[in-house]
């Protein structure tokens, strides 16, 4: 599974992460694979992990920080208001990610808040034919 770190306190050796599905999980220093704990600020760092149960509570285990080079499925979309929203591969509706270049593609999306930051979710590509129809409707409404 994948998720993002919310925070990790090196002194207390504990922190929290958010799964791509929106579940908040506790993370202890011993949960990190090969003892590779985050150093300094780690909010929004991408991680891979497994979910296990400890005392009836779901926790993250085998947590591994994913380097920027490994994060290939993260992009940004520009809203009509000019706001830039990050979108991860898991943020695409039905797992249907765009193929090749998709700059200037029209999409529909929802905004979700994670740890005080906004990101695009349920992103769906709008077919060219649907875009033309929408433009025609707007233009004919203006006349």
List the beta bridge partners of residue 140: none
143 confidence band (pLDDT: 50, 70, 90)? very low
Query: Which residues pair with residue 25 across a beta bridge?
Result: 17
CA–CA gap between residue 47 and residue 68 (Å, rounded): 11
Q: Which two tokens stand for residue 7?
A: 């925070």
Cross-strand bridge partners of residue 47: 3, 65
The rounded radius of gyration (Å) of the Cα atoms in the chain is 19
Residues 22-71: pLDDT tens digits?
899 999 999 998 888 888 888 888 888 888 888 899 999 999 888 765 55
Average model confidence (pLDDT) across the chain: 79
Please count the CA atoms within 13 angstroms of the CA of 17 that sit on its side-chain side.
Answer: 32
Q: Residues 78-96: what's their mean pLDDT?
A: 80
Please give the domain boundaries of the chain with CATH numbers for all domains: 2-68 (2.40.50.140), 73-142 (2.40.50)
The per-residue pLDDT for 70 is 54
The predicted model scores a pTM of 0.49
Specify the residue for token string 């380097």.
Answer: 67
| pLDDT at 12 (0 to 100) | 94
């Amino acid at each position: 599974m994948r998720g993002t770190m919310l925070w990790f306190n090196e002194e207390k050796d504990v922190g929290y992460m958010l799964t791509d599905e929106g579940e908040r999980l506790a993370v202890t220093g011993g949960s990190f694979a090969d003892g590779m704990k985050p150093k300094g600020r780690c909010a929004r760092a991408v991680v891979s992990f497994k979910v296990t149960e400890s005392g009836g509570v779901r926790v993250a285990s085998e947590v591994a920080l994913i380097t920027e080079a490994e994060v290939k499925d993260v992009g940004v979309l520009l809203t009509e208001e000019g706001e830039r929203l990050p979108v991860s591969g898991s943020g695409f509706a039905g797992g249907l990610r765009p193929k090749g270049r998709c700059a200037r593609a029209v999409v529909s999306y929802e905004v979700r808040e994670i740890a005080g930051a906004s990101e695009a979710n349920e992103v769906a590509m709008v077919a060219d034919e649907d875009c033309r129809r929408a433009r025609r409707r707007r233009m004919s409404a203006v006349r």
